[in-house]
Each structure stands twice: as C-alpha cells, then as structure tokens.
C-alpha cells in the first residue's frame, strides 16, 4: 500500500490513444518519485495525470479519502486519470501543421517516426499555442484516435495540464509479459533541448 501510494503505482491503459507505444489493457508502472525532489517533466516523456480542471474542466474535485484509496489500490478512480506524451513544457511554442506538415516545438520540427502511429499525420487540427508556466501540452501517439490537448483549446484551461496534476512518469510496461519494455524518452526530443521553455515553474 505504501509503495503504491508514494513510490510506484500500477496503471492500466484504458484506450487506444497511445498506440502503438501503449495498447489497451497494458499494465504500467508509474514512477511517482520521478519529479518529487526537484525534478521536472521533460518533453517526450509519457506521463499519467489527473485531468480534473484541464481535460475535465467542469469536474468536481475527488474527495480526499477516495483519492487515497485509489492511490493505494483499494478503490477505483473517477475516470479522470489519463496517459499521454508531453510535447511542450512551460514557455514552449508548439505549432502544427504548416506547409511541411510537421509538429514543431520552438520552431524545431520533431521527428516522430519512433512513436507516431503508422499512417497517422502529426495532427489533423492546426494549432499554434504558447504553453503557460507550470503547464504542459500533451498528445497521444495515435493522433487520429486521441482526445488530448488539441481537443480542449476552447475550454477553460485551454487544454494545458498543470504540472502539479502529474501523478508520475510511466517507466515500464509490465503486462502482458510479451510486451514488457521500458518507456524511454525518444532521442528526437534532444533536438529541442536548450531551445526555450521553463517547465520547472509551477
């Protein structure tokens, strides 16, 4: 119970929005200490977060007792927990899709071939956003089957997820056995390092 609550939390992938990186029914180990001691969310990481106030802008806060029971594995959540890939951190300008059809962070085109669902375009929706300090812009890897930051642009919060709502970083797929793998940060995001952003503010 203590491990579930404070260290590594199990999570079942509920939808196809992160295929082929994650598939429905995959069991993840979520590292809840990844950002606990001064660490901050990085572009490219897969995170699990509570969408209350962002993806669910009108949802009421889950009672503290229910949150605790869910955290230690003794209760179910309220359907407010999501898993997505972080594309932009606070201060980033994220755009898609111009004449070249590419997703860009601070003007740098991303090579998404390592994780984007085969046959999918980076986005069917055009957008040009600047991520506020302490917020994240997140997207699913299966773009044509993902409700993510793009779908909440006109709602309160603008589709940005507060860093403080991140439960942890998804580090491993542990079930089914044949899918056991680590969820490493794609090397393509290294091209954006040092190109702006201040994701450490909350």
HSE at residue 89, side-chain half, CA atoms within 13 A, is 23
98/149: higher pLDDT? 149
Indicate the pTM of the whole model.
Answer: 0.84
Whole-angstrom distance, CA of residue 88 vs CA of residue 33:
21
pLDDT digits (tens, 9 = 90+) for 81-130: 999 999 999 999 999 998 889 999 999 999 999 999 999 999 999 999 99
Who wins on pLDDT, 158 or 10? 158
Whole-number pLDDT of residue 99: 84
Using DSSP's 3-state secondary structure scheme, residue 179 falls into helix
Q: Answer for the pair 13, 28: CB distance below 8 angstroms, yes or no.
A: yes
Examine the residue annotation and report whether 17 is marked as an active-site residue of this protein: yes
Which pLDDT belongs to residue 113?
Answer: 95
| Nearby residues of 33 by Cβ (< 8 Å), 6 or more positions away | 6, 7, 168
- Answer yes or no: are the C-beta atoms of 145 and 16 closer than 8 Å: yes
Distance (Å, rounded) from C-alpha 200 to C-alpha 184? 21
- 135 catalytic? Reply is no
Catalytic-role residue among 70, 80, 84, 123: 84
Q: What percentage of the chain carries pLDDT values higher than 90?
A: 63
* Mean pLDDT on 61-80: 48
Of 17, 70, 80, 146, which is the active-site residue?
A: 17
Tokens of 179: 């899918």
> Span 2-192: which CATH code?
2.10.109.10
CA 65 remoteness from chain centre: 25
């Amino acid at each position: 119970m203590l491990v579930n609550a404070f260290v590594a939390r199990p999570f079942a992938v509920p939808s196809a929005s992160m295929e082929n990186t994650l598939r429905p029914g995959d069991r993840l180990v979520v590292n809840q200490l990844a950002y606990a001691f001064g660490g901050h969310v990085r572009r490219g990481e897969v995170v699990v977060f509570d969408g209350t106030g962002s993806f669910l802008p009108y949802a009421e806060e889950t009672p503290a007792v229910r949150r605790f029971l869910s955290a230690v594995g003794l209760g179910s959540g309220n359907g407010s927990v999501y898993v997505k890939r972080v594309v932009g951190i606070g201060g980033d300008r994220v755009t898609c899709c111009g004449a070249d059809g590419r997703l860009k962070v601070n003007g740098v085109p991303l090579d998404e071939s390592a994780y984007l669902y085969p046959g999918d375009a980076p986005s069917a929706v055009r957008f040009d956003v600047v991520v506020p300090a302490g917020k994240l812009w997140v997207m699913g890897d299966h773009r044509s089957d993902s409700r993510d930051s793009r779908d909440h642009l006109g709602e309160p919060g603008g589709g940005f997820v507060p860093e403080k709502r991140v439960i942890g970083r998804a580090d491993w797929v542990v079930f089914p056995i044949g899918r056991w793998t680590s969820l490493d940060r794609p090397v393509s995001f290294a091209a954006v390092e040092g190109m702006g952003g201040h994701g450490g503010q909350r």
